[in-house]
Amino acid sequence: MEKSNKVSITVIRRLPKYYRYLADLMEKGTNRISSQELSNMTGFTASQIRQDLNNFGGFGQQGYGYNVEDLYNQLRKILGLETLYHAVIGGAGNLGQAIANFKGFEDAGFKVVSLFDKNPNIVGLKIRDIEVRDSNTMIDYIKEHKIDIGIITTPKESAQGLADKFISAGVKGIWNFAPTDLDAPDDVIVENVRLNESLFILSYFLKRDFE
Amino acid sequence: MEKSNKVSITVIRRLPKYYRYLADLMEKGTNRISSQELSNMTGFTASQIRQDLNNFGGFGQQGYGYNVEDLYNQLRKILGLETLYHAVIGGAGNLGQAIANFKGFEDAGFKVVSLFDKNPNIVGLKIRDIEVRDSNTMIDYIKEHKIDIGIITTPKESAQGLADKFISAGVKGIWNFAPTDLDAPDDVIVENVRLNESLFILSYFLKRDFE
């Protein structure tokens, strides 16, 4: 039950971490967890955790903590993991194929139903049971199949063009792996995966360690 | 020239973004940029940008702004991009192979020199000119070739075991794609790529949009 519509992005970005730890606790068969224990696991303060979760409802009980299964299910609802979204991948190179095989999709309620590429040598390939189709057919496919998400795994030069096609075809969100910003209308959600930036952070810390 | 050894992680995580924008400006041949223009590009306030960069030296000039090439080169040094690090990939499935082909490595001064896997059907494969070797040979290879970075692209169940091997063989850092926390000594840098969490964020916002 949402108490507030304006939860800050900093809070929102902590939610998947809570979910990951709750999923592990579910796997282990743990019944209950206190905010202090969650604090020890996550590194966030117990008070931060309680505050974050209070944005969405009163899930815990003072003196008891949280029921693991209950909080797990609440987080699934909050994160929208109960809804199945259909996705297509634009760019069927190594990264696109790796993403097509990405197990995390099912956990998050996403299903990749097609890849698209321009390269005639790749068109027609099957990744598991998912076909690589010609990029000329992509817009029609997205409209016909009411695809929710477009995934960009092309080089950065092609990314905006691909995004424009996704947007014109009516996707609701874009998962972008290209190392560039995308222009998109406000009603299209863009989530960027910054692999280069992650590597630069690694490089920063490696340098610090060896000076 | 570093003025301070204790720069906060929040500042550090902004540096790769500045670098990305400076690299784009270099490509376009732009000579100078003000902190206000950088603010318009990045979304951070001009004052935040100046403060962040002041942690590392006085690069700008009041009334002039920053010299693009100079700031770009300074950021390369700060991020350690001038140093070449050698990496190996543990787990030569789709994701491992995609990472082996990842162009961003060269930009960041990383070179993948081998992949390792347990699967005899994959051992011996070549990804571009990089060989997949038997995982039994990994620790010796890392020691012999003074490998700096171990990259984890296995399922989460194998991740800690692989990390332990990397650490015992003497890597300085780990780039981890498995959706789990890793135990590592303080002198080994661990940078996690949280693909699942990125998807959960996308899912959160998609859900909000359609209620």
Give the percent of chain B with pLDDT over 70. Answer: 96
**pLDDT grade for A2, boundaries at 50, 70 and 90:** very low
Whether the pLDDT of residue B4 is over 50: the answer is no
Mean pLDDT (chain B) is 92
CA-based nearest distance A189→chain B, Å: 7
Whether the pLDDT of residue B14 is over 90: the answer is yes
Mean pLDDT (chain A) is 92
Minimum Cα–Cα distance from A191: chain B residue: B202
Minimum-distance CB partner of B196 among A15, A108, A149? A108
Sole residue written with tokens 């929208």: A80
Average pLDDT over residues B29-45: 94
Interhelix angle B195-209/A15-28, rounded to 10 degrees, is: 110
Give residue A4's pLDDT.
47
Give residue-wise pLDDT tens across range A16-64: 999 999 999 999 999 999 999 999 999 999 999 999 999 998 788 888 8
Give residue-wise pLDDT tens across range B86-117: 999 999 988 899 899 887 788 788 999 999 99
**pLDDT higher at B130 or A3:** B130
Q: Give A22-28 contacts, CB < 8 A, sequence gap 24+.
A: A22/A68, A22/A71, A22/A72, A22/A75, A23/A72, A23/A107, A25/A68, A25/A72, A26/A68, A26/A69, A26/A72
**Residue contacts between A and B (CB atoms, under 8 Å):** 171
Phi-psi region for residue B144, left (φ > 0), alpha (ψ -120 to 50) or beta? alpha
Give whole-number Cα distances, B202 to A95, A185, B151, in Å: 19, 16, 25
**pLDDT grade for B6, boundaries at 50, 70 and 90:** confident
Please state, in angstroms and rounded to a whole number, the distance separating the CA atoms of residues B184 and B85.
20
ipTM over 0.90 threshold: no
Give residue B106's pLDDT.
81
Minimum-distance CB partner of A104 among B80, B196, B210? B196
Q: What share of chain A is helix, strand, coil (3-state, %, to 5)?
A: 45, 20, 35
Chain B residues lying within 8 Å of A149, measured CB to CB: 202, 206
Q: Do A196 and B108 touch (CB under 8 A)?
A: yes
**pLDDT grade for A210, boundaries at 50, 70 and 90:** low
Three-state DSSP at B36 gives helix
Give residue B67's pLDDT.
95
Chain A residues lying within 8 Å of B166, measured CB to CB: none
Give residue-wise pLDDT tens across range A82-131: 899 999 999 998 889 989 988 778 878 899 999 999 999 999 999 888 99
**pLDDT grade for B121, boundaries at 50, 70 and 90:** very high
Average pLDDT over residues A150-161: 95
